[in-house]
Amino acid sequence: MKIRVLDGDESKEVDIYSEEGLSLVARLWERVSFHNRLVYEPTWLGIPIIQLSSDIVMMQELLWKVRPDVVIETGVAHGGSLMLSASILELLGNGKVIGVDIDIRKPNEAAIRKHPLSKRIELIQGSSTSEDTVRVVQNGVKKSDKVLVILDSNHSYGHVLKELEIYSRFVSRGSYMVVMDGIQEMLTSNPTGKKEWKDDNPMRAIRDFLRGRSGWEVDRTYNRLKTTYCPDGFLKKL
Ligand SMILES: C[S@@+](CC[C@H](N)C(=O)[O-])C[C@H]1O[C@@H](n2cnc3c(N)ncnc32)[C@H](O)[C@@H]1O
């Protein structure tokens, strides 16, 4: 089976069973699912999680492999992603999740606090890049802790770059910093995308963070399901 791709003035046929076809269908799915806001559909143990299903599966795999003592996540929203981490830590029998958000809405906070996994979750309200917030995060982490970081707050280039610089210090060797929503760069022409995302996106921040910096590598193992909202977003600290 082939599909004909029309992109501006260009047109080409691609066999969907080829490598190119697989990649193309994945890119199409990302675009169409973004347009239809499917990322807002899933829940994790009853709490909405704003992630693509394939990324949820990959996060589960990563958490099980790394077995962190502490997961720091910037960007809480409803708290589903915190629950995902907390549920894996609960099965591992160890660890806590520190969730940072500039605006933790009361109903979301209440749902998190009354959840059976709330004992593994600490919430901090404040901008992820403010000195005060970082100090509180720091106080929640011991030197000996194995730490994994997930950045999913404000997705502007400047904010993500600042977060990368601040939170990279917390990540333990062999663990990861996961940067969500690099997909923005590819969605500028989507009907619900924004032109300014071309330069203002997490992907550019990842590239600038890694440029000239040793000790980190992009681990594409966790993008192998092809559809992802965090392409090149799994950064391993070597
Ligand atoms: C995409 S949502 C997070 C989704 C969540 N991680 C999940 O997977 O369900 C982004 C969140 O980032 C928060 N946010 C925006 N700017 C922020 C900042 N400067 N510092 C911390 N959180 C911020 C917003 O309030 C919002 O709740």
pLDDT at residue 212 tops 90 = no
Atom of ligand 1 nearest to the CA of 73: 6
Q: Give per-residue pLDDT as tens, 123-158.
A: 999 999 999 999 999 999 999 999 999 999 999 999
Atom of ligand 1 nearest to the CA of 51: 8
Is any ligand 1 atom within 6 A of the Cβ of residue 184?
no
Strand, coil or helix: 10: strand
Is any ligand 1 atom within 6 A of the Cβ of residue 51?
yes
Query: What pLDDT sits at residue 6?
Result: 86
CB 97 within 8 A of CB 123: no
Atom of ligand 1 nearest to the CA of 79: 9
Pocket test for ligand 1, best of 152, 155, 181 (most atoms within 8 A of CB): 152
pLDDT at residue 66 tops 90 = yes
Q: Atom 14 (ligand 1): residue with closest C-alpha?
A: 153
CB 228 within 8 A of CB 182: no
Distance 3 CA to ligand 1 centre (A): 37
CB 7 within 8 A of CB 14: no
Cβ atoms within 10 Å of 226's Cβ, excluding its own: 15
**In the chain, domain spans:** 1-36, 42-237
Residue 181 CA: distances (Å) to CA of 37, 65, 100 = 14, 22, 17
Is any ligand 1 atom within 6 A of the Cβ of residue 75?
yes
Q: What is the CATH number of domain 42-237?
A: 3.40.50.150
Query: What pLDDT sits at residue 7?
Result: 78
This prediction has a pTM of 0.97
Closest by CA to 82, choosing from 72, 92, 91, 68, is 72
Is any ligand 1 atom within 6 A of the Cβ of residue 177?
no
